[in-house]
Structure 1
Amino acid sequence: MAIIVSPLPGIFYRKPGPGKPPFANEGDTIVIGQTVGIVEIMKQFTEIQSDVAGVLQSFEVDDGAMVNPGDAIIVIHEG
């Protein structure tokens, strides 16, 4: 099991924009380098990419929630 953490403070979003589909959903197969969300701070958006391959098990924060550096965002079951 791998945990993807926020690299910076801001607001976590599961989608690239309003009305757009999420980058990934629970149960999706994730590949290394795949964007799984974004963190926005002061109108600057940082893509959160997976550094492991596996199945997205769960989101640890809600869409639109505040995150801090090191906060767990996503759990991926490697394999």
Structure 2
Amino acid sequence: MSEHVVQSPLPGVFYTRPVPDQPPFVEVGSVVTAGTTVGLVEVMKQFAEIKAGESGTVTAIHAENESIIGPGDGVVTIEKD
């Protein structure tokens, strides 16, 4: 099987959860589809969803919650189905 690294489309602050008191969008071992939200990136109080882009299983999460990321930075790795 091959891997797909989900990359941030924008620079900003990466969030692994929709709100602080809820569980993360995905965890290692989560099964996702191409349309699954894997995180949010905030730029100037605007939030953009980052989608998986491929179906498969999450094998790694590269960005920590509330970390600064740049465009093209890998945030999640998915082992494709």
TM beyond 0.5: yes
Instruction: Compute the TM-score of the two structures, normalised by the length of structure 1.
Output: 0.96
Are residues 1:77 and 2:79 paired? yes
Match of 2:51 among 44, 49, 54: 49
1: CA distance, partners of 2:19 / 2:43: 15
2:30 maps to which residue? 28
1: CA distance, partners of 2:47 / 2:80: 27
Structure 1's unaligned 5+ residue stretches are: none
Q: CA RMSD in A?
A: 0.6
Structure 2's unaligned 5+ residue stretches are: none
Instruction: Compute the TM-score of the two structures, normalised by the length of structure 2.
Output: 0.94
1: CA distance, partners of 2:32 / 2:46: 25
Structure 1 stretches of 4+ with a deviation exceeding 6 A read none
Q: Percent identity?
A: 38
2: CA distance, partners of 1:28 / 1:46: 21
